[in-house]
Chains A and B, each alone.
Chain A
Amino acid sequence: MFLEETLKRIQSHKGVLGTIVVNAEGIPIRTTLDNSTTVQYAGLLHQLTIKARSTVRDIDPQNDLTFLRIRSKKHEIMVAPDKEYLLIVIQNPSE
């Protein structure tokens, strides 16, 4: 389906390690990683996204969080929040 293709396209980018779709409560729906890692990522990033969003809205109530990128030594975690879902992609940039 179109949905699948989109996810596949994202997954096939250079350096992408995994993709996770999470619902509003932090329960993973779809993932390409193993279960324990998925659960960990989902729970932690869900909380972080909520915090980030509330931060943005506190500063300017008209504003809203659209994209969150966390760059670490080893890889980059990208989170796109929505009202009901959360899409997480982990990529290893450059080499």
Chain B
Amino acid sequence: MTGKGSPKAGARGSASRPKSSSSAGSAKSNKSAKGKPKPSAGKKEEAAPPASECAPPEDIFPLVLTSKTQELFQCRADEDLTQENPYKLLRKEDILLDVKTRGVVSDFQPFKQLVLDYPEEEILLVYDRDFKYGNNFYLVGSEEKKEQFLHPPEASTQEEEEEAQEAPYKPPESKLWISLGSEVEIEDESIKDHRQKICFKISRIRREFGAPVKFSDHSAVKEKENYVECPSYQDKTFNIKQMEKNAGIQAIPMLVEASTQTKWKYPKNACTQYSAQEFSDEEKQKLFTSKSLKDFINSVSIRFEIALQQNEIMNAFIDDWKVLGEEESSFGGKTDTHLKEYQSFTDLHFSKNKAVSFVNWHPSIPGIIAVAVREKYSFEERINFSAKLLLTHALILIWSFSDPIHPQLLLECPDDVYCFEFCPSDPSIIVGGCMNGQIALWDISAHMERLQSTRTGGGKHAPAKATSLPGFEDPHANDTPVMRYCAVSSIESGHKAPVTDVQWLPDYYEVSRLGTPVENSSGMCLQIMTCSPDCTVFIWDVRAPKAPLSQMTDRKKAEEKRLDILHEIPDTFKHLDLTWKPLIKVALPKLDGGGEYSSMKFSLVDSHRDTWIHGNVDKFHPKTEKLESGIDYATLRVPSAKNLKGQSDVSTKFSLGTEDGELVYADWKMEKDNDTGKLSSSKPSNCFVIHDGLLNTVQRSPFFKDIVLTVGGWTFAIWKEDIMSGPLLQSCCSQKRCTVGHWSISRPGVFFIGKEDGSIDIWDLLEKTHEPSQTQNICTAPITCIKPWIMSSRQHLLAVSDEQGTVYILEIPWTIRHPSNNEKTSVSNYFEREVKHLQYFEARKLFREREKSEMEADEQKRKAEAVPPEKTAEQLEMERKTEYEEYLEVEKKILIQVGILQEAEEPLPTV
């Protein structure tokens, strides 16, 4: 067994592992381990060093031998079988015997079959020291292997010995050259002779050497022998048909320029003049008397008569349907009958807790409204708060529709303004009557542009930002500008009580200093009429009066006072400031008895105002042309009365409403009193006491010049100025006080009454006269002013102000603003009827009086007949006394019955 083992181990050792310095045994074992034949002629194959555990080849069977087995077979590891000698040959019989004796325990048990099949007697056992095949021993199962193990080791060791020595030097053997094609290139490059070189020999006769030479011209072209030409020719054989052609195409629009010239025909102005052919008078006469004309007229006149009569009878072309329809449409068509609120203006700073005293629309710029506010204190309160009032300025606010929160302009007043008016001919002049009796003038022409621009929606912030630098902005740039009045009347010669009404006199006449109406050459409104409850009516002139000496002192005083005037105030009325005196003072003595009328409101017969409150802005166009050059009021002078023409067709009368509820017709024309030579006004012609309170409105109808509306107390009345017997219409007492009234400017028979409870009554005279046709509540505070205005044909606005500082702008609906057909004639017919009614009433009154006086006369006559006997004085006295006592008794009884007098108790009887 050891014998088998060792040669195998030696064979192993000769396995090619030249590197291995380990024992030959292992090397050999490696070589024979390659079971598959790997022929390597002379070459030493390096077997890939197998891992310590590789798959054993077919004939190799690894097995484990326990130490007992090792002892039995004398193949103890490292003792019998070593690395140098790992082979041992084991006898087959021994293995089989071992298997039999030991049975399962025997190590050779798994290989029992192998051993049985083994042809030979001895099996080779190899000691696998390195555990190459997983176990420490392995059996070689085939004969060839066995032999391999045992024998070749000798040869291989020999070989290895040789190889282990120096490898002998072998010179390189020359191999066949393989052409890669480079010789072709080389051949190309090399120059070779294709043919034999040609040799020429040239000789010349000796004597011709050095002979003189003759040169001559010779044309090359002429003789064709001197040159050879190779012209190009078209070779017909060489004809290639071009089958393909590359072409590029670009498409561009056709650009065509063309021009024409036309004959220029321009319009020329040409005119002809002709005069109609006319007959001379004689010819006319001749013709007139001719017979033919006579016949013609006679024959034709019948037709005419018929035609004319037809027209008189009825209008054949009336569209009955249309006429019918127009009246009906206003009834049921538009359902909107209420005044709609359009906008309202109130300012928290300036108009809070203040009452609006007057409202006025700007005559030329649409959408601008001026509002005067005043404090609501009573007289006592004013005295108590006088310190506070001195600090706060009275203001007129000018609002624009484009900005309902901030007023556009503030006008400072010397005191609360009760009424103010825009000058009709120059809308940037405003005159206002103040509470202290002064009247003030403002000139807002500097701000007109601003107002106009805000109206068009410019917005006042935009221009401010555009012109200001970021760091240098004026913090007050966006504040509402405040404008001070530029002139006030002198305190001594003005009114002594608040000025309650102020109006501009129309521009077609003016009042001279003598108190007569004269022609107004300037065509501008320059005079103002004011009234006040101090029983005076003044007429003022805006122009500087001629300066008599006495006025120089006044002027000096005024100049002193004006040192602290700011530069912003325009100088328009500098000549008037503080020295302004009224031109004419009209006194109003009472008709019956002493005293004077304390005027509240007045209405001139000839007044410019009523013609332009229609809101027609067009009427200002002719005036603006004059104004563009600028009026310098300071240079205008009141003209001398002598130079002016008197205007006789102007009525100087006016109606006046007083504090006591009277309506007075007065005349402001001054007459020269023959006795004293002084000018004095005539006494008022008529006076009517109708109203229960002070008259707050006296207004002429814009449609009828002689119809006046007066509102006062709890009633209102409509008057016709010629009728002296009484009002045409007097309303019944309403439940609330009527505070203000105004005619409608689009309908002749409609007017608005404002009430104490903040509601507006709309009266339509053609609908009903016993009550308003409509009532609408606007606010909770009493209404102080109503002003209608026409913005456009579709928009009529009504400005209503109340005592809480708010101005409401209401839109008048179609039913109220649109006049029905022939409304004016209907209304005038109504007034005529009323006049007739009054006249009838008067006539009846007279009649009744006469009747009554007649009856009385009759009675007296009868009484006189049965005259009782004369009584003596004593008897008469007695009779009278008894009568008187009877009367006292009766009186006492009545008083007791009523309860005023208490029955005197009978005194208790004294005991």
Contacts and interface: CB of A to CB of B under 8 A. Distances in A.
Given A10-B305, A91-B311, A93-B315, A21 B298 contact: no
A87 B305 CA distance: 13
A91 B278 contact: no
B305 A76 contact: no
Given A43-B276, A82-B300, A94-B314, A29 B293 contact: yes
Contacts of A15: 308, 311-312
Contacts of B312: 13-15, 93
A4 to B, nearest CB: 9
A84 B710 CA distance: 66
B322 interface: no
B289 to A, nearest CB: 8
B350 to A, nearest CB: 54
A3 interface: yes
30 contacts: A2-B294, A2-B298, A3-B288, A3-B294, A3-B297, A9-B301, A9-B305, A10-B308, A13-B308, A13-B309, A13-B312, A14-B308, A14-B312, A21-B297, A23-B279, A23-B287, A25-B277, A26-B277, A28-B278, A29-B287, A29-B288, A30-B284, A69-B307, A82-B300, A84-B296, A87-B296, A87-B297, A87-B300, A91-B308, A94-B311
A71 interface: yes
A28 B279 CA distance: 7
B315 A27 contact: no
Contact of B303 (A9, A27, A30, A80): A80
A68 to B, nearest CB: 10
B300 A80 contact: yes
B305 to A, nearest CB: 7
Interface string B267-282: 0000000001111000
Contact of A85 (B292, B305, B311): B292
Contacts of A94: 311, 314-315, 318
A9 B301 CA distance: 9
A29 B279 contact: yes
B379 interface: no
A39 B276 contact: yes
B304 interface: yes
Contacts of A13: 305, 308-309, 312
Given A84-B296, A87-B296, A78 B315 contact: no
B317 interface: yes
Given A2-B298, A67-B303, 7 more contacts: A3-B297, A6-B298, A7-B297, A9-B305, A13-B305, A15-B311, A91-B311
A20 interface: no
Nearest to B283: A29
A84 B295 CA distance: 11
Interface string A10-47: 10011110000101011111100000000100110000
Interface of A: 2-3, 6-7, 9-10, 13-16, 21, 23, 25-30, 39, 42-43, 66-67, 69, 71, 76, 78, 80, 82, 84-85, 87, 89, 91, 93-94
B301 A10 contact: yes
A42 B318 CA distance: 28
Interface in B307-345: 307-309, 311-312, 314-315, 317-318
Contacts of A78: 304, 307-308
B307 A67 contact: yes
Contacts of B287: 23, 29
Nearest to B309: A13
Nearest to B284: A29
B286 to A, nearest CB: 10
A88 to B, nearest CB: 10
Contacts of B300: 80, 82, 87
A94 B314 CA distance: 6
Contact of A21 (B293, B305, B308, B311): B293
A86 to B, nearest CB: 9
- Taking residues whose C-beta sits less than 8 angstroms from the other chain, chain B's interface range is 20 to 34
B835 to A, nearest CB: 22
A16 B713 CA distance: 53
A84 B292 contact: yes
Nearest to B287: A29
Contacts of A66: 303
Interface string B563-581: 0000000000000000000
Contact of B304 (A25, A28, A29, A89): A89
A37 B276 CA distance: 12
A3 B311 contact: no
Contacts of B314: 94
Shortest beta-carbon contacts, A-B, top 10? A93-B311, A94-B315, A80-B300, A39-B276, A13-B308, A82-B296, A85-B296, A6-B301, A27-B277, A14-B312
B631 to A, nearest CB: 41
Contacts of B315: 93-94
A42 B278 CA distance: 11
A42 B303 CA distance: 20
Contacts of B292: 84-85
B277 A85 contact: no
Nearest to B315: A94
Given A25-B277, A28-B278, A30-B284, A3 B293 contact: yes
Contacts of A2: 294, 298
A32 to B, nearest CB: 14
Interface in B3-18: none
Contacts of A21: 293, 297
A66 B311 CA distance: 18
Contacts of B308: 10, 13-16, 78, 89, 91
Nearest to A36: B276
Contacts of B279: 23, 27-29
Contacts of A10: 301, 304-305, 308
A62 B456 CA distance: 69
B284 A6 contact: no
Nearest to B303: A67
A88 B333 CA distance: 45
Nearest to B295: A82
Interface string B71-113: 0000000000000000000000000000000000000000000
A38 to B, nearest CB: 9
Nearest to A73: B317
A27 B296 contact: no
Contacts of B296: 82, 84-85, 87
Contacts of A3: 288, 293-294, 297
B276 A80 contact: no
Nearest to B290: A84
Given A3-B297, A82-B296, A85-B296, A39 B304 contact: no
Contacts of B297: 3, 6-7, 21, 87
Contacts of A85: 292-293, 296
B287 to A, nearest CB: 5
Interface in B662-680: none
A26 B293 CA distance: 15
Nearest to B293: A85
A69 B317 CA distance: 13
A95 to B, nearest CB: 9
Contacts of B278: 27-28, 39
B207 to A, nearest CB: 135
A27 B299 CA distance: 21
Nearest to B305: A10
Contacts of A26: 277
A13 to B, nearest CB: 4
B652 to A, nearest CB: 36
